[in-house]
Structure formats: C-alpha cells, structure tokens
C-alpha cells in the first residue's frame, strides 16, 4: 500500500530546525511521513541529528528533495559549476541518508532555468547521464534512490515530459535511479495523466500530488481518476506526497508566483488534502 506524505512547504520554508516543528502536526493529522527539501547542504550534522530524532519520536518516515542553482549545475559548460553541482548532490544524498530517508527526488540534473533561447543539447544530455550515474553510485552505498523530476517549460528547458524523464533514467541505467512525476507539472506538459504513468511501469519511484493551481488536491481540474487508475494499474507502492503552497510564505510565493491564498490556512490545506488523497487511494486500492 502506498504511503501518504506531506511536504513541509505546506507549513514552512525555513531552516531544518524550523521544519522539524511541523513533524508532530503532520503526524497528528494522519500523514505517514513528511518530505524535507534540502536547499542548504551546508547544514551541520547536529541539526540533521535533531531532525531525525524528532522524526523517530513522533513516528514519521521521511522523504527528501533537492534542486540545483545556476552556480551548481550538472549540465553547465563550466567545469567548476558542474563540480559544485556534483558536490551539492553528494552532500544532499548524505543528509538524506542521515535523516533515514531512502528517496532523494527533484530537479537533480540542472538549475531551474526557463530558457537559454534554445532547447537542450546532446552535450547537456550526455553530461546529465554521466554525472547522475556517478551520483547514483554514491547514493547506492547510502541506500538512497534518486528520483528525477520532469518539470514544466517555465521552470526548465531541459526535462519537461514523462517521456523525457524515462529516457534519461533508462540512459543512466542504474537500479537506484527512478523517475519522479508531479501532477502540477504533468497538467501543463502532458496530453493526459493515464498513459504517461502507465508507460512508467518499473521506473516510477516518487509522486507529488499537486493541484493545477498548487492548491488543495481535489479542488481544481487535475484528472485524479486517471492518475489513481494508472497508479493502480502499475501496482505503484511508492510515496504519494502532497506538495502545495498555501500562499502565505513569502519565499514560496515568490518562487511559485502565487500571490493569493489557496486555502484558509496550512491546517485546512493539510487536513483537506489528506482526506481527499486517502479517499482516492482507497477507491483505487492503493
């Protein structure tokens, strides 16, 4: 049976010590786990130790996510920038493992960058394959699976569709490299939800449940029946993590261009979102 997680961005975008304050509330609401975004890979071991201790205290599991910046980009033409990207991933994998998580997902291949006035190049593709394969070898020793996320064209020019993500994972050809689908991005880039998910059989490692406006799942126009029917058909056993933005956190409002409130408050978002996802999962036997 799939487990349902809550991305801590529902409550905060602060430091790891700030994020751990949301763990007990996520448990009380009924989530199986939380997803922690690792933006700052220079955080100390003591902070990570406190977070893991709190996860164990409240009885939650954890998944992790990260992304790269323009100064730490695996597909950049500058070798120094690529090296910083490699080091960022290695540190994020280590933090992920120290938190007790077996999943590191997200835009692991390059910086969030809408366009360079062109599409991706073969050279960039080859760099992503080579350097993510190296990262996967390091991650394997840590018990971590890398899940590559395809995101919409306004956030990257490199990997936009499920088909792109699957091809990259197949090219990397490591057992601990899977794909990560997010229904918000799929709603923009895919013709439908069912076929891309079914075609990912054997490769789908992580799913973000996110409404078309980033609001509470079930309140928009994402075709959730297609999503859950397809997940059921491929016998998906991975995490279903609710990722959304209430709209009151300044940093996330800027990053996601959300200038309106999408729920009454974070509690409303989390409670309604979990209720909807649990009902859908039960309906489709996930």
How does pLDDT run across 127-163, given as a tens digit for each residue? 999 999 999 999 999 999 999 999 999 989 999 999 9
**What CATH architecture applies to the domain 4-283?**
Alpha-Beta Barrel (3.20)
pLDDT at 246 over 70: no
CB 45 within 8 A of CB 281: no
Contact 120, 157 (CB under 8 A): yes
Average pLDDT value over all residues in the chain: 92
Q: How far apart are CA 116 and CA 114, in angstroms?
A: 7
Strand 177-182 to 145-149 pairing? parallel
Question: What is the reported pTM?
Answer: 0.94
Spatial neighbors of 174 by CB under 8 A, at least 6 apart, are 133, 136, 137, 140
| 47-81 pLDDT tens trace | 999 999 999 999 999 999 999 988 999 999 999 99
Question: DSSP letter at 72?
Answer: S
CB count within 10 Å of CB 189 equals 16
As given in the structure block, the two tokens for residue 167 are 């091809």
How many other β-carbons are positioned within 10 Å of the β-carbon of residue 13?
A: 17
pLDDT at 241: 98
Q: Which residues contact 79 (CB under 8 A, 6 or more apart)?
A: none
Residue 115 has pLDDT above 90, yes or no: no
What pLDDT, on the 0 to 100 scale, is given for residue 58?
Answer: 97
Enumerate the domain spans of the chain. 4-283
Terminal-to-terminal C-alpha distance of the chain: 5
Question: Quick one: angle between helices 122-141 and 162-172, nearest 10?
Answer: 60
pLDDT confidence band for 253 (50 / 70 / 90): low
The more confident residue out of 250 and 209 is 209
């Amino acid at each position: 049976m799939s487990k349902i997680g809550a991305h801590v961005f529902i409550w905060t975008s602060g430091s790891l010590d700030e994020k751990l304050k949301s763990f007990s509330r996520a448990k009380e609401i009924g989530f199986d786990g939380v997803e922690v975004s690792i933006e700052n890979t220079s955080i100390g071991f003591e902070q990570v130790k406190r977070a893991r201790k709190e996860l164990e205290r409240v009885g939650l599991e954890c998944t992790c996510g990260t992304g790269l910046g323009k100064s730490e980009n695996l597909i950049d033409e500058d070798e120094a920038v690529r090296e910083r990207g490699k080091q960022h991933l290695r540190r994020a994998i280590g933090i992920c493992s120290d938190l007790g998580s077996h999943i590191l997902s997200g835009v692991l291949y390059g910086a969030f960058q809408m366009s360079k006035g062109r599409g991706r190049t073969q050279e960039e593709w080859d760099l992503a394959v080579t350097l993510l394969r190296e990262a996967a070898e390091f991650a394997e020793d840590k018990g971590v699976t890398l899940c590559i996320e395809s995101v919409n064209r306004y956030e990257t020019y490199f990997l936009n569709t499920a088909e792109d993500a699957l091809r990259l994972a197949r090219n990397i050809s490591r057992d601990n490299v899977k794909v990560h689908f997010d229904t918000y991005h799929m709603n923009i880039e895919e013709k439908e939800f069912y076929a891309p998910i079914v075609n990912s059989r054997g490769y789908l490692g992580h799913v973000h449940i996110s409404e078309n406006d980033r609001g509470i799942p079930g309140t928009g126009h994402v075709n959730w029946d297609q999503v859950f029917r397809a997940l059921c058909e491929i016998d998906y056993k991975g995490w279903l993590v609710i990722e959304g933005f209430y709209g009151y956190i300044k940093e996330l409002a800027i990053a996601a261009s959300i200038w309106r409130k999408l729920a009454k408050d974070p509690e409303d978002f989390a409670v309604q979102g979990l209720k909807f996802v649990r009902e859908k999962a039960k309906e489709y036997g996930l």
